[in-house]
Amino acid sequence: MKPTIKELIAKASPGPWPMTPIRGGDKHILIGDHCSTWGTHVAEVYRDDTDTNEADANAQLISRCNPAVMSKVVEALEEISRESARCGGDIVSTKAARIATATLALLNGGTP
């Protein structure tokens, strides 16, 4: 069974995860807290000679989706679902709840 997104967030290295270009910044980007004594190495992204924009976007996405940010996203989606139930299921809140539920399912490794 796949761990839930909350379980993954709880086990992951805490954010923020800054990006650090190394080797002249041309080919290699480290993601994590490399400024501390021991550092937290989260990921490495290698820039492909043919598409540096994609590699840069991948590194930025990983960096921004740290546990602190993802916790807030999950909390917001859960609050939307709770608020919809509390409001009695009007059309807007029902649609928002369906979107929130589907998004949480994706984050938990399933399908919407």
Does 31 share its domain with 55?
yes
pLDDT tens per residue across span 71-82: 999 999 888 888
Beginning with the edge strand found earlier in the chain, give each strand of the sheet holding 40-46 in spatial order: 19-22, 28-33, 40-46
Q: Amino acid letter at 97?
A: A
Based on the fold, state whether residues 61 and 101 are members of the same structural domain: no
The verdict on 57 and 94 lying in the same domain is no
Query: Model confidence over 58-97: pLDDT tens digits?
Result: 888 888 888 888 999 999 988 888 887 777 667 667 788 8
Residue bearing the bigger pLDDT, 25 or 51: 51
- φ and ψ of 43, to 5 deg: -160, 160
**What average pLDDT does this structure show over 40-63?**
78
Overall domain count for the chain? 2
Whole-model pTM over 0.85: no
- For the chain, the average pLDDT equals 79
Is 2 within the bounds of a domain?
no
Residue ranges making up the domain that contains 45: 16-65
pLDDT at 66: 87
Task: Please tell me whether residues 54 and 21 are part of one structural domain.
Answer: yes
Q: Flag whether 59 is in a domain.
A: yes
Do 61 and 73 lie in one domain? The reply is no
Q: What is the pLDDT of residue 37?
A: 53
For the cut 90, the answer to whether the pLDDT of residue 6 exceeds it is yes
Report how far apart, in Å, the C-alpha atoms of 85 and of each of 4, 51, 71, 74 are: 22, 46, 21, 17
Residues 54 and 80 in one domain: no
